[in-house]
Chain A
């Protein structure tokens, strides 16, 4: 059986992202003053998981050959909302969690409906809806503040017995219970089909609209999960436009680093997770090598540029120059 070769080939970019991340993380912990300890890993994991969830949100839309510039704002809205309602008794907290996730899902659903029925480009739609979501977040938290169920927050951002970061386990469970079944469902297949070639998908009788709608809903849901984790991490809500914009851009960077094609149809949220962890580690590396923190954006930019350039190598193979624009 030569099957494994095809499976490796299909996941090559994800595996590559994983390998690069491992190397970078090895260098990071190897040079960290405290070394490879549970605390170092947990702090890195918590920061990484927040971006990983936003990057997963971005992935869902990018797979349909779209782009979602509102993920950072849905993420903030979830954060601000959680700082109001994920409090109190266990029952209240659970209801609050559900409420935040539903709002995320709703935001994603609105994006999807506008894109599908308004026939607007995803980039314009999500800039507009992103502004609306940010406005709502600002309305909820005009000034930073609020609270969150601290027992829940501490347990989800802490360590499990054996020093395993709880946030990583939660991320793993999310992938296991949401992504993997989605990937193997008919609608998940349809999402890849739409991103690969919308016309061919339509001609093959694939439910194109439904696939897009589900992708945007999934995006909203993942972004809201990211917002919840931010709340657990900071114990408060803050409607910071700069933060929302940064997360949106970083999510795109993570998607590209994770081997997901911006043309759609190729990649996996697992790649995005490693892309996000990698992107975070770039920043951390500067810290352990005592470089000026001011250099961080420059350094991240250069790494990103290199990663994107790799993806455009295929353009050298094109024989008909008109295809360059297609």
Chain B
């Protein structure tokens, strides 16, 4: 009997299944790695385990007894501590305060600061950060030190299962080594560790067991080291395709002029020396795992980031894009369709008409007064072009369906007739029908001579829509895939940064079959 078991766990968000009949068993004194590509169900799995979400179906068994967690606190009490990707530290409180935030030591009903300090020092030492002063405020620590505090905080709860979700993604190499040592020691102290990471080297170094997730199901569990990188990629791919993509034009568009060219773009530690070109009529995808700098790259092009170094050229002329307002000006002609339509894209309580006109108001006005006739014509054109289904243009955009909201968002930017269109994961959370319309539109825009940069977390979309794909890893372009090279295998293995060998080996084995 395993120490902790999950059986038949399912979780749906709206119509989308995040987990389907998933099972997992975790043993004490072992490090269990969870693998899978974007959207395979890994995050939902640990959210269920740590009490953040309740599953729709299935059960969890710990030490032979069935358990249910109504809140993160309940999971904590049962001995499950989780270190999330987004840090859960309180920036204005001291390290010691943070470490014992959920269960501070008390003395006559008040927090015993001496005991708290002792706990903090002990936990920090165990977590590999004995040099961190317990009285420092968390906001004064660099990101990599905060991660150590986060581990210390989890350890101070005396967990028996410790879940680490991308725990090393923010760490510098020297700190990663320390974390490895800590994790190995915890394993020898009979803790069960669940380790989620995209770095294959880490998994090879640390894991005892591995489980691969795909489409919300656990596909395979195996002992670490018994499968090659190539076999692992094989297990991770094989998504079910349910989209229909318009045909791509044949290659041979080298003749078209280069619209956008970036060279040596760098920004803090999130973007590292990125250079690329996009020709008119091209759809260039951004691939890679979520959070490898794709979003920042789009923001950089659109003038949102301060202190960006490197050069951006439009039609060969160097330009400096100081703000989104500048980016959309007609001589640059850029549009960014943001990822979160509710906060960065639309003004939900305002009408469909107003939302459509926002970006293009300058073009619809004479001497600062909006010309209603011009506006109405333009709005009607867009509604027809994108087939937006709305009961008139005066209803609030928030009352439309998700798919139609997304169409309004795209139409809003098409109103300025942009030459360069940046898309940040635009199909997230919209229905299949709307997706298909969107893919068709994307190709139409490209054929009309626009340059398109398309970031998507769905590999199928990159394969189906893009002429080229730039795969990012750790803020840098690791690989460029062109035309027929864009396959799921290539995308996954370059996203994991395990190089071409695995892929070539895979092709040989396929050929041998």
Contacts and interface: CB of A to CB of B under 8 A. Distances in A.
A119 interface: no
A265 interface: yes
A266 B140 CA distance: 14
A93 interface: no
A319 B90 contact: no
Interface in B84-130: 84, 87-94, 97-98, 101-102, 104, 106, 109-111, 113
Given A200-B89, A205-B76, A319-B307, A189 B111 contact: yes
B181 interface: no
A196 interface: yes
B137 interface: yes
A265 B306 contact: no
B88 A319 contact: no
Interface string A262-280: 0011100000000000000
B136 to A, nearest CB: 7
A189 B97 CA distance: 8
A256 B137 CA distance: 21
A321 B93 contact: no
Interface string A1-27: 011001101100000000000000000
A186 B106 contact: yes
A201 B101 CA distance: 8
B306 A206 contact: no
Given A185-B110, A189-B101, A319-B307, A205 B72 contact: yes
B268 interface: yes
A319 B101 contact: no
Contacts of B104: 186, 189
B2 to A, nearest CB: 26
Nearest to B108: A181
A205 B71 contact: yes
Given A205-B71, A319-B305, A6 B94 contact: yes
A319 B102 contact: no
A321 B136 contact: no
B319 interface: no
B133 A2 contact: yes
A322 interface: yes
Contacts of A195: 92
Contact of B299 (A264, A266, A320): A320
A192 interface: yes
A200 B90 contact: yes
Contacts of B136: 6
A186 B174 CA distance: 36
A318 B306 contact: yes
B304 A321 contact: yes
A193 interface: yes
Nearest to A266: B92
A313 interface: no
Contacts of A10: 94, 135, 137
B268 A319 contact: yes
A306 interface: no
A320 B97 CA distance: 29
A213 B441 CA distance: 52
B92 A265 contact: yes
Contacts of A266: 92
B323 interface: yes
A203 interface: yes
B414 interface: no
B267 interface: yes
B71 A3 contact: no
A192 B102 contact: no
Contacts of A186: 104, 106, 111
B325 to A, nearest CB: 11
Contact of A319 (B76, B113, B306): B306
B73 interface: yes
B90 A204 contact: yes
Interface string A199-240: 111111110000000000000000000000000000000000
Contacts of A203: 52, 72, 84, 88
Most chain B C-beta atoms within 10 Å of own C-beta, residue among A3, A6, A185: A6
Interface in B338-372: 344
Contacts of B153: 204
Contact of B88 (A2, A204, A261, A265): A204
A132 B110 CA distance: 36
A210 to B, nearest CB: 12
Most chain B C-beta atoms within 10 Å of own C-beta, residue among A201, A261, A318, A319: A319
Most chain B C-beta atoms within 10 Å of own C-beta, residue among A2, A202, A320: A320
Contact of A206 (B102, B109, B344): B102
Contacts of A2: 133
B488 to A, nearest CB: 32
A154 to B, nearest CB: 36
A197 B92 CA distance: 9
Contacts of B94: 6, 10
B76 A184 contact: no
Nearest to A264: B92
Contacts of A261: 92
A319 B267 contact: yes
Nearest to B75: A205
Nearest to B50: A203
Given A189-B101, A205-B72, A197 B91 contact: yes
B304 A184 contact: no
A266 B139 CA distance: 12
Contacts of B113: 184
Contact of A196 (B73, B90, B110): B90
Interface of B: 52, 71-73, 76, 84, 87-94, 97-98, 101-102, 104, 106, 109-111, 113, 133, 135-137, 153, 267-268, 296, 299, 304-307, 323, 344
Given A264-B92, A321-B304, 11 more contacts: A2-B133, A6-B136, A10-B135, A184-B113, A192-B90, A197-B91, A200-B88, A203-B72, A206-B101, A318-B306, A321-B306
29 contacts: A2-B133, A6-B94, A6-B135, A7-B135, A10-B94, A10-B135, A184-B111, A184-B113, A185-B109, A185-B110, A186-B106, A189-B97, A192-B90, A193-B101, A196-B93, A197-B90, A197-B91, A201-B101, A203-B52, A204-B88, A204-B98, A206-B102, A266-B92, A319-B305, A320-B296, A320-B305, A321-B306, A321-B323, A322-B344
Interface of A: 2-3, 6-7, 9-10, 181, 184-186, 189, 192-193, 195-197, 199-206, 261, 264-266, 318-322
Kindly list the 9 A-B residue pairs having the minimum CB-CB distance in the complex, ordered from nearest.
A205-B73, A6-B135, A265-B92, A196-B92, A205-B102, A196-B90, A203-B88, A184-B110, A200-B88
